[in-house]
Every structure is written in structure tokens, then in C-alpha cells.
Structure 1
Amino acid sequence: MTTRGSATRRTILKTGGVAALAMAAGAGAESAAAEPVLRSDLQAALDDVVVAGASGALAEFRDGASVWRGSSGVAELGTSRPVPVGGRFRIGSVTKTFVATVVLKLVGRGRLRLDDTVEHWLPGTITNGDRITLRHLLQHTSGVFDFVARFGELFPTTEDLLRQRYRTWSPTELVALAAEMPPVFEPGTSWSYSNTNYFLLAMVVERATGRPYGTEVQRHILRPLGLRDTEVPGDNPFLRGPHSHGYLPLRQDGQIVPADVTTFNPTIAWAAGEIISTPAEINHFFLALLTGRLLSPALLEQMLSPSAGPGYALGIGRFPLPCGDTLWGHTGGFFGYQTFAVTSADGQRQLTVSANPWGGNPGRAISALVQTAFCGSAAATAEPLWLPEMAI
């Protein structure tokens, strides 16, 4: 975003203006035993996410027993309603860590093996299926084409996308888009992020258990952890409970205007990015995962073993920070929503951020917020952290 645009958004934040963003920025901030300096630094960094190009943003940072929650911007453009602290949002590709955890739970129970092939469970579904293993799918080393890369053909414009926003897509329909394309590389020889991998994994889970993958997420993760605000929505297009609105740019009468895409049938993302949650519950999930509440030590060790790719392991990414710390987590994108969820290796510190991109790209500002939280404001840089996300 240009300097002029950033200055304009910052002025709105500070002066109130027509958009009343100043009223919302920090209006929802809460803290529990957090240091005032840390609280103010985090809030300032969260405000910068909105300045950089988001209609709203919210976050939760946990450091041991101390918890800080903040919000910035507005919940809906054209209103002065603040972003609800602790609100629900579409987590996008963070869904993949939930799916990977379920797969590993089934491995631990002997229902699946990481060396099982796709052909064994889903015969005839994909090229090279007899040589692609579940491990390849989990770590994106399968070489399977990403069906999302064909969205430009399906939806050349925002108008085309909006016309199909309530359509229910079947997993086999979207996997077929990938199956029509040649493999990106031979299985296990390289790395390439592909949402198709997690469709195939969820299809394997359903074949192995005889139940929808969402039911397995509920059985193995949501119910045991008491995550009542986390949902696998299926074909339900509505985002219920307190939430911010998401937007996409729409050309109208020669101008770019925001198209509200908060209501959207999430089957287009399915097991690659459909889950809805809150910052607190995402943090709770990653804390339980990384401290051994969900997987055995042996399986957790396998999950955290990065592939030849850029720090990606089995459904979870490794994020080295400039200050020397290493975080684990995932990022995510769904129409109108962007997520960054990371946890320190010992589980002591966690940050989950959700933003609604509009008018710019808040990615670098989110990276700066992460670095502020884990390295301190003085150490934060403009260099973006690696952001593997669902590109829709």
C-alpha cells in the first residue's frame, strides 16, 4: 500500500472521521495480568494491521498465565461497531492442522498408516495415487496439482464468484479439477502447497471411519477440548455469533467497492479451509496439540518433523523468528478473512490474529505484530514471515 494511503487510514484511526475507526480501535482491548507496555505495544501493532489494509482485526496473545485480547477497526464497513474481541471468524487453512491431527489420531489407533497410499484408500482418484502416501499429502510433497489454482478459470471476476457463493461443491468435484492437470512433480521429490492434498486426506478419513471428517474433528478434538465456539460448518453459509464482516473488491460504475462476502457456502474450501473458530479456541487447540494432550510423543515428534519444503511438517508450519525463537502454527485465508496462529515450542506463548483485508495487504503488518509479541517491539521488522495460506 502506498505511503499516502497508509497515512490516510492512520489519520482516520486517530481522528475518528466518518468511518469512526478511532472509536473502534482498541475499544475491545482486554487484559489479564499483562504488563501495560506489552499491552500498548500489542494494541499499536494491531492498529497497524488495520492501517495497512484491513477493515478490522482481532487477536489474543497468551504468555503463561497472562492473556491479552485486543481488537481494532470496525466489525462492518459503514458502521462504528467495534470488532468484537473474541469474535468468530473463518480460519481458512488453519483447518489443515485439525485435519492432520485427526489423521495422526487414526494412525495412533491403527486405523491408518502414514505409508498408506492414496490408491489403497481412493482407487483411481488421482495420478500417481499408487506412489503418493498419506505422509506426502500431509507435508505437501505429493506433487498433486492445487485445484485452487484453477479458480481464475471458474471465477474470472468477483461478480462470477458472487453468483456462485451459495453453491454446494462436492469434494470429488473439486478434486477432479486437480486430477485433470498433470502432476507438479514426482511424489516425494519436491514441495508445493496444494489444498487438494487435504481434500484427499479428509476423503481417506471418511473411507477409513465411515463418518464425515467433520464428525471425526468433533470426536477427536472439539469435544475432548471443550471447543464450543469452533465449528465445521459443512454447507451452512452463515457465520453465527459475534463476528466481523469480510469483503472482496468489486468493480462497480468504474470504481472499486467492497462486496460483503461474510455469508458464503464454505464447501468450496471444505477440509482445506472451512472451519470457524475464535482466537481463544485456536490458541487452546495449539496448546493442547504441542503439549501432548492430543497425540502421543512419538506421533507429535513425527508431526513436527519438517519436510524438504520451507519448514512445513505434517499439517503444521515452523516459523523461525529474527530474534532466534521458533514458533509452530499455520496461517489461513478464506474470502474476506486472513488468519495467523502461532505457538512457541514449549506452549508458553501463543498468538492468534484474524484480519479482514480491505484496501491493502495487511500481511506485513501481521508479521510485525507476531514479531512484536514474541521478540518485542524494538525487534520487529517489516520482513514478512512465511505465509502458507489458501489463496482464495
Structure 2
Amino acid sequence: MKSHVDSPQVLRRAGITALTVAMFLGGGAVPAAASESRTTDRPELRAAVDAFVSAGFTGMQVRVHDEHGEWTRTVGVRELGRPGKPPADGRFRIGSTTKTFTAALMLRLVADGRIGLDDAVAPHLPGYGLDPRITVRMLLQHTSGIFNFTGEYYPDGTVVPGITWSGQEWVQGRFRTYRPEELVRLALSHPGRFEPGTGWSYSNTNYVVARLLIEKVTGRPYAEQMRERVLNPLELRDTSAPGTSPAIPGPHAHAYYTYATGGVSRTVDVSRQNPSWISSAGEMISTTEDLHRFFAGVLGGKLFPAALVAEMRRPEPRSGEFGYGLGLMSMDTGADCSGTVAYHNGSVQGYATLMYSTPDGSRTLEASVTYVDDAAQSQASAGQKAIKDLMTAVFCAE
């Protein structure tokens, strides 16, 4: 069967892009320990998952739901140098998949009449100097033009750095605390990328401004509101917004970062870190089971009305191949596969997350990949190929 997942456009959208932080960058291969559910024999899925370890990733946990039922598999190792496999129900840092949670929380507030999608943001957050034309919708769909505090990359090759989030400097300072206000003020000290509403550019700052707005509108902390309005209603017991806490609660696979110093390569376990540097744009921790519950709940209208689900899924035309709506992307796998699929992947040093679903939830994929990260993005192409092959196995199966 021919798969439209093979197209370069879909591959870029499904795999590594400049939109996520160092997604699927790796170290050397490790022997594969494996465990899988016995609901049904799925050799095509097993092969696609095993390919990640063969490509050099340290471990992976996968959950697939389709007409055959639920299928799970773990491969690789939980920790380098130790034989145990990743836990099938393990927690992991979900990186930019956090944006879908933040958008869902904002849309709950919209549904409750606390704020409107097209309301201006500046009146709620005086003192920041926000452009008065920026609306809630612009934040969630990345059309505000606000500078990205993790750095901007311009078409002419110009790079304007933001905070440090890679390399030896980040590893050594990974327990530093950033306040959300600090990240926003840093971003707003730079000129906007374009006039609000006239372009599209992925900016982590949008979702930190959204956090401040959520806290201003509700008068309560972001993490508390996330629990009350999103996690508890969907019974997501193993998902959290850790704030400044460096720990991953519960069983988890480990993540690593490697860098050279004095001509010597050093690999460091970075599973523990202070995620305040990425805040509500990428700080959250979850499991594959909780991600499945979350996405099913959002797309199924359990958090807000169908009209807002449609708004969330509607791509902003200027986002082009990314099909970015409100904290959610869409891609076309083609008529020979599953058609349109909604998704939002994420990554944070040494952890990468996949979250995909057909609109009706009949086929879903949730996964966490652990790896040895580096600043050179040394295994980006291998990661892209592995994602393509996995998506073909899930969404183009007979």
C-alpha cells in the first residue's frame, strides 16, 4: 500500500522541526530489552518500534489503539549501564506537547465565559508593554509575532539567541529557576517578528504569556488550574505541571545529555532538571495512558463544546505545512491511510513525545522516546525515518 506518510512534507511535520527543542537527537545504540502487550500479534508495529533502538535511542514506550484493540510495547533500557527495560506505565517529560494542555485549559476558560478567544491580552496584563492588538487566539495559534525566548531563527540565516537551553552551560545550570514573568520580559525586550496577526511563527513565549493570562483571569496558580479544569475531569492521575520541581514522580526512564569539555566527551543524566526554563510551553510530565485519555477527552468534547474543539483543530492558513490550530496541529496521511490526523509532538533534553489521533479517535499513537541528547542534533535524520516508519505502521495499516 502506498503511504502519503512517506512524503517529505509529512515527514517534516511528523518528525524533527525547528519548532521543538532538540527532538530525537541521540547517542549510541544499546541492546534492546523488550516487553509488549499480548492483545494481538503486531509484527509491523514491533519492527517499527524496535527500529528506534537500532537507530541509537536508549529506550521507548509505545501505546497504540485501533480496531485491533490496545497494543503496548517497551524497548531498550530504562537506564544506561543497567539491564532493566523502560516501564510501560512510566512517566516522562512531554516537552511541547504541554502546549496542547495549556491551550485546553485556556479553552475551558473560554467555555466558562471567563475570557474570549478574540479578547485583547494587554488589558489583562498591564505593565508588560504587550502590543494591544494581540489576542488570546493569536497566542494559541502563534500569530502574535512575539519573540521566542528560546531564540529566533530567521529565513536569511540570522540567529538571535534567547535563554540557554543546550550545551554544557545548560547542563551545568539545569537547576536554575526562571520566573514566567522573567521569560516574557526577556522576549518583549526584543522586537516582534512581525505585526500581530500578519504572520505565523512558533514561539514558546506565546504559551508563557497564556500562563500569566490564565493566572490573572482566575486568580489562581497555573498548576492548580490545570489540575482542577483539565487533569481531574479527565482522571489524569499521572500527569503534572511540576513548576520548579526537578523530580519525575513515579517510575520513569532516564534521559541523558552529552557534551565535550577539554577534549573529553561527558554524558550526564539530565532526568532531573528544573523545567521552569520552558514553563507552560513545555514543562509537563505524563504517561502514554494519560496522553491517550487526554487527547480522547479533548477531541471527544469532554472538556469544552464541539464548536471550540473545531476552533482548536482549524489550521491557521499562515502556518502552512504545520497545520497549526489552537495548540494542535494536523496532517494529511492520505486517502490510502487514515486521512487527517491531529497531533502535537514535543521534546525536552533527552525526552521526546509523540501524540497522534484520528479525529474520531479510532486510531491513536502515544509514545515516549529517551535518548542521549547533544547540541549537534547528531541523529535527527535517523529519528525522522523512524517516526515515518512508525506512523506508516500505525496509520496506514490494513
Cα distance in 1 for partners of 2:203, 2:143 equals: 9
Q: Distance in 2 between matches of 1:104 and 1:153?
A: 29
Match of 1:254 in 2: 263
Partner SS for 1:258: strand
Pick aligned residue for 2:37 from 30, 39, 45: 30
- Check the 8 A contact 1:75/1:84 in 2, yes or no: yes
CA RMSD of aligned residues (A): 2.0
TM-score of the superposition, structure 2-length normalised?
0.84
Please say if residues 306 and 318 of structure 1, whose CA atoms lie closer than 8 Å, have aligned partners that are also in contact. Answer: yes
The sequence identity of aligned pairs, in percent, is 40
The one-letter code sitting in structure 1 at the alignment partner of 2:241 is V
Amino acid at match of 1:318: S
How is 1:1-392 mapped onto 2 (pairs within 5 angstroms)? 19=30, 21-22=31-32, 24=33, 27-32=34-39, 34=40, 36=41, 39-64=42-67, 66-128=69-131, 130-149=132-151, 154-155=163-164, 158-308=167-317, 309=319, 310-322=322-334, 323-324=336-337, 325-358=339-372, 360-361=379-380, 362-376=383-397
Q: Identify unmatched segments of 5+ residues in structure 1.
A: 1-7, 13-18, 378-392
Instruction: State the Cα distance separating 1:353 from its structure 2 match.
Output: 1.4
Q: In structure 2, do the counterparts of structure 1 residues 342 and 56 end up closer, same or farther at CA, with 3 Å as the change threshold?
A: same
Report the Cα distance in structure 1 between the residues aligned to 2:121 and 2:262, rounded to whole angstroms.
49
Is contact 1:91-1:339 (8 Å) kept? yes
The alpha carbon displacement at 1:226 in A equals 1.2
How much has 1:44 moved relative to structure 2? 1.1
Tell me how far apart the structure 2 counterparts of residues 256 and 283 of structure 1 sit (CA, whole Å): 38
C-alpha displacement of 1:216: 1.2
Q: Distance in 1 between matches of 2:126 and 2:312?
A: 26
Deviation at 1:57, TM superposition (A): 1.1
Looking at structure 2, the residues matched to 206 and 65 of structure 1 have their Cα atoms a distance apart, in angstroms, of 42
Detail structure 1 runs of 4+ shifted over 4 Å in the superposition: 150-154
State the alpha-carbon separation in 2 of the partners of residues 277 and 196 from structure 1. Answer: 22
More helix by share: 1
Q: Is the 8 A contact 1:238 1:263 kept in 2?
A: yes
Deviation of 1:346 after TM superposition, in Å, equals: 0.6
- Equivalent in the alignment of 1:387: none
How far residue 109 of structure 1 moved from its aligned partner, in angstroms, is 1.0
The 8 Å contact of residues 61 and 352 in structure 1, kept in 2 or not, is answered as yes
By relative contact order (CA 8 Å, sep 6+), the higher-ranking structure is 2
- Structure 1 residue identity aligned to 2:61: L
The answer on whether the counterparts of 1:353 and 1:366 sit within 8 Å (CA) in structure 2 is no
Count of residue pairs brought into register by the alignment: 353
Shift in alpha-carbon separation, 1:201–1:86, aligned structure 2, 3 A: same
Which string of whole-angstrom CA distances, capped at 9 and with x for unpartnered residues, describes residues 90-127 of structure 1? 00111111111111111111100111112111123244
Q: TM-score, normalised by structure 1?
A: 0.85
In 1: Cα distance, 2:161 partner to 2:254 partner: 24
Counterpart for residue 380 of structure 1? none
